[in-house]
Copies of this chain bind each other. A is one copy, B any other.
Amino acid sequence: MAPEYEILTPATVPAYIDRTPTLNGIVDTSTLDVSEVGDGNLNLVFVCKDGNGDGICLKQSLPYVRLVGESWPLTPERVIAEARGLSAAADHVPDLVPAYYGVDEVNHVLAMENLMGWDMWRSQLNEGNAHPGVGEQLGRYVAALAFYTSFFTIDQGEIKERLAEAINPELCKITEDLVFTEPYIDVPNNSYVDELIPEIEGMRADATLRAQVGMLKYKFMTAGEALVHGDLHTGSVMVRQGDSGAECRVIDPEFCYYGPIGFDLGALFGNYLAARARAVVLDRPAAYQKWLADLGPETWNSFATEMRRLWPDRLDKTWTDSFLDTWLAQVEKDTIGFGGCKANRRIIGLAKVTDIQQLPHDEHVKAATMVLRTASTWIRERDKLETVAEANKVFDEVREEVLG
């Protein structure tokens, strides 16, 4: 399947920038150094730096899933979804995303700030490096996206049009399959070491767990609450140590669509769980583990605090303060449940996480077991657990069980 548009290479990028009016002047193309660094599954990513130290990043979507190859075609229109997600966040939390330079809908190229000197957060977590405050920043990111893309601030008639424009069926289907379906059935996409078989077979035989995963999948498929990032794991966050503390930038919102607000928070919470399990089996320093353990509540509290701060600006004041309390309690339960689904899939299904995969065998088995057991309890018991802080304690109990 040959693409019907020009696929960029490092050699052709300078000329592309020269002939694209919106990109002129951002970098000096006569001194441009371009490298393709895409390590995701779906795209080419060109990092460009010029002789003056200026930069730009171009992301071009391929018409298939890169990880699998041309046998898995995928619409390149997803770059438009990503532009939608990036520009919405750039409007309201410009300090938490790369600057947005526009999208070329013909060649499926998104242009944005080049994050030179930033690291992927997952890599930093894998190394055991803390970035205090990033959890707070991510809670604020989710709150801003939720508040400013929902009917809390957008006219009821317009919000329906926006929801209709932003449907993203192909990328949603990837999530539906990989997050909610495949881990719980026997399909070739799954893979895991033999020691995990009893745990995973137990999950598949658990009718309550399967029903609750189904309810979360149903919510993912039907709840059009706000524009959500859709893939907000720790590999979609870039971090650095700035002058006044750690900073983050959220990238890669190509899965964005109108979905349940708890899904992004759950994605973070589920990925924090993998990072915690890694830190435990590697016996990281206590202060680091404490910081990691607090990330979930920190992110949740930041989200809730920011929603309360923004609440007086809602468009329709007939939404009461008591509604906000009740609504936050529901989003918190959703966060716990989605967190469980996001954690399980990273152990069982396609597209795993280095946090757990790159551990020595014995540590891998222990960490993976802790993640699966904690995550499954979150999914089953989220209504009883009620809070992210309570859900966090489940991990402590499971750790005792697994490590003794």
Identify the A interface with B (CB < 8 A). Answer: 151, 156-157, 160-161, 163-165, 167, 169-170, 172-173, 176, 181, 184-185, 207-208, 210-212, 214-215, 218, 221-225, 318-323, 325-327, 330
CA of A141 to CA of B324 in the docked complex: distance in angstroms? 35
When A and B form their complex, which 4 residue pairs have the shortest distance between CB atoms, in order from nearest?
A214-B323, A164-B164, A211-B322, A207-B322
A170/B151 in contact, CB under 8 A:
no
Residues on the B chain within 8 Å of A215, using CB: 323, 326-327, 330
Q: For the complex formed, measure the closest distance between the CB of A186 and the CB atoms of chain B, giving whole angstroms.
A: 11
Nearest opposing residue in chain B for A258, CB measure: B222
Residues on the B chain within 8 Å of A176, using CB: 156
Q: Which residue in B185, B208, B224 is a CB contact (below 8 Å) of A224?
A: B224
A211/B181 in contact, CB under 8 A:
no
B157/A320 in contact, CB under 8 A:
no
Instruction: Give me 14 other A-B pairs in contact (C-beta within 8 A), A208-B322, A224-B224 excluded.
Output: A157-B170, A160-B169, A161-B167, A164-B165, A164-B167, A184-B318, A211-B326, A214-B319, A214-B320, A214-B327, A215-B327, A218-B327, A222-B225, A223-B224
Residues on the B chain within 8 Å of A185, using CB: 318
The contact sample of 24 A-B pairs, CB cut-off 8 A, is A151-B221, A156-B172, A156-B173, A156-B176, A156-B221, A157-B170, A160-B169, A161-B167, A163-B167, A164-B167, A184-B318, A207-B320, A207-B322, A210-B320, A211-B326, A212-B326, A214-B322, A214-B327, A215-B323, A215-B326, A215-B327, A222-B223, A222-B224, A222-B225
With A323-B211, A323-B215 known as contacts, the answer to whether A160 contacts B156 (CB < 8 A) is: no
Q: Is the interface of A mostly helix, strand, loop or mixed?
A: helix
CA of A270 to CA of B184 in the docked complex: distance in angstroms? 39
Q: For the complex formed, measure the closest distance between the CB of A109 and the CB atoms of chain B, giving whole angstroms.
A: 25
CA of A125 to CA of B285 in the docked complex: distance in angstroms? 73
Q: For the complex formed, measure the closest distance between the CB of A228 and the CB atoms of chain B, giving whole angstroms.
A: 12
CA of A326 to CA of B219 in the docked complex: distance in angstroms? 13
CA of A330 to CA of B223 in the docked complex: distance in angstroms? 14
Q: For the complex formed, measure the closest distance between the CB of A257 and the CB atoms of chain B, giving whole angstroms.
A: 9
Residues on the B chain within 8 Å of A319, using CB: 214
Q: For the complex formed, measure the closest distance between the CB of A182 and the CB atoms of chain B, giving whole angstroms.
A: 9
A325/B224 in contact, CB under 8 A:
no
Residues on the B chain within 8 Å of A172, using CB: 156, 160
Q: For the complex formed, measure the closest distance between the CB of A318 and the CB atoms of chain B, giving whole angstroms.
A: 5
Nearest opposing residue in chain B for A170, CB measure: B157
Q: For the complex formed, measure the closest distance between the CB of A221 and the CB atoms of chain B, giving whole angstroms.
A: 6
CA of A178 to CA of B61 in the docked complex: distance in angstroms? 46
CA of A211 to CA of B329 in the docked complex: distance in angstroms? 12
Q: For the complex formed, measure the closest distance between the CB of A326 and the CB atoms of chain B, giving whole angstroms.
A: 4
CA of A172 to CA of B158 in the docked complex: distance in angstroms? 12
Residues on the B chain within 8 Å of A208, using CB: 322
Nearest opposing residue in chain B for A151, CB measure: B221
Q: Which residue in B223, B224, B320 is a CB contact (below 8 Å) of A211?
A: B320
Q: For the complex formed, measure the closest distance between the CB of A340 and the CB atoms of chain B, giving whole angstroms.
A: 16
Q: For the complex formed, measure the closest distance between the CB of A170 and the CB atoms of chain B, giving whole angstroms.
A: 7
Residues on the B chain within 8 Å of A221, using CB: 151, 156
Q: For the complex formed, measure the closest distance between the CB of A327 and the CB atoms of chain B, giving whole angstroms.
A: 7
CA of A321 to CA of B330 in the docked complex: distance in angstroms? 25
B169/A156 in contact, CB under 8 A:
yes
